[in-house]
Copies of this chain bind each other. A is one copy, B any other.
Amino acid sequence: MGRLTIKDVARAAGVHPATASRALNPLLPGRISAGTTERVARAAAELGYVADPVGRSLRTQRSGTVGVLVPDLLNPFYPPVLRGVQEVLRGHGFEALIASTDNDPGRAGALLDVFRGRRCEGYVIASASRRDDAVGRLIAEGVPVVLVNRLTEAAAPSVTSDDARGIGQAVRHLAELGHTRIGHLAGPSGISVTRAREAAWRAGLRAAGLTPERSWVVRAGQYTASAGERACGTLLDRGEVTAILAGNDMIAVGCYAAFAARGLSCPEDVSLVGINNMPLAEWLRPSLTTVAIDQEELGARAARLLLARLADPAARVGDVALPTELVVRRSTGPVRP
């Protein structure tokens, strides 16, 4: 059929292509008469013209594309985040290129190179370790970057969850159930949320009049179920705690397996709290009490921050911390007498 170009629209409206272009991009300088604008718009609509993004990109040096990097697409936490990002971006004419580092920090560089080759105008990065070379370089170059749930040493706006609040609620909830020895399965070190969550756990215990013991913390090497199962096993075998705050829901998923392997039942023998409220959390047996984060909103806010920086690269856009809220389900119960 031969694709429509702006020349076709211009011809149909009886104007020059440049005029047609201006008429269709109202924000540009050099205003166009109402009549012309009208005629061009009608012609475009009738013909079903949509501007070729490639031609436009070449001229404007923009791609209408944003790179999104997540650490693990298989972790149910991220799909809702992606949905939020895409929804907002699409509403503003941007499309997201998505990649997962699969929990391998080394892959970030290569993936970012692919994105840069495609002229992504900005990046939403949910995979940055606290010290990440590839991401740091990006930020240093002044490319618009928004971090999700991660902080780096480099300065880039970020959207995080205010874990402290929800974790405080979680610990209080456990304390009110009579638990005095509440363990924590921390995520991998080198990630900012890991530290924040551990700190919040510590603070929560203190606020409840309890003293966090070093032996109540075990570090899971990754935010995965299998790492969680191992770490939980280690913690259980020390035989000290009656309740566990997992570093996230995937780690909590691993805990269920560790419980079962030791013949412990939840919540009768051990109480368990996760973090994230991932899509399947309510479907686990027992359903998981967890610190809920609005994942879609997390992504949506990140996208909006990025759009603000895209519109004005000099804009100082601040960080956002979304509130978290404890969702009590069936994995927590009174301490055993």
**Interface set of A (CB-CB < 8 Å, partner B):** 50, 52-55, 57-58, 63-64, 73-74, 76, 79-80, 82-83, 86, 90, 95-100, 102, 113-114, 117-119, 225, 253-254, 256-257, 260, 279-280, 283-285
Find out whether the CB atom of A54 lies under 8 angstroms from the CB atom of B52: no
> Of the candidates B58, B82, B90, B283, which one forms a contact with A114 in the assembled complex, judged by CB atoms under 8 Å apart?
B90
Which residues from chain B contact A119 at a C-beta distance below 8 Å? 52-54
Which residues from chain B contact A96 at a C-beta distance below 8 Å? 97-98
Find out whether the CB atom of A74 lies under 8 angstroms from the CB atom of B80: yes
Q: State the CA gap A240–B90 with chains docked (Å).
A: 49
Which residue from chain B places its CB closest to the CB of A57 in the assembled complex? Answer: B54
Find out whether the CB atom of A83 lies under 8 angstroms from the CB atom of B100: yes
Q: Which of A55, A118, A283, A285 has the most CB of B within 10 A?
A: A283
Q: State the CA gap A285–B98 with chains docked (Å).
A: 32
Which residues from chain B contact A74 at a C-beta distance below 8 Å? 76, 79-80, 83, 279
Find out whether the CB atom of A53 lies under 8 angstroms from the CB atom of B280: no
Find out whether the CB atom of A118 lies under 8 angstroms from the CB atom of B97: no
**Assuming the A-B contacts A58-B58, A284-B284, are A53 and B95 also in contact, with contact meaning beta carbons closer than 8 angstroms in the complex?**
no
Find out whether the CB atom of A50 lies under 8 angstroms from the CB atom of B117: yes
> Of the candidates B52, B58, B256, B280, which one forms a contact with A253 in the assembled complex, judged by CB atoms under 8 Å apart?
B280
Which residue from chain B places its CB closest to the CB of A286 in the assembled complex? Answer: B260
**Assuming the A-B contacts A76-B76, A283-B253, A283-B257, are A95 and B97 also in contact, with contact meaning beta carbons closer than 8 angstroms in the complex?**
yes
Which residue from chain B places its CB closest to the CB of A90 in the assembled complex? Answer: B114
Q: State the CA gap A293–B57 with chains docked (Å).
A: 41
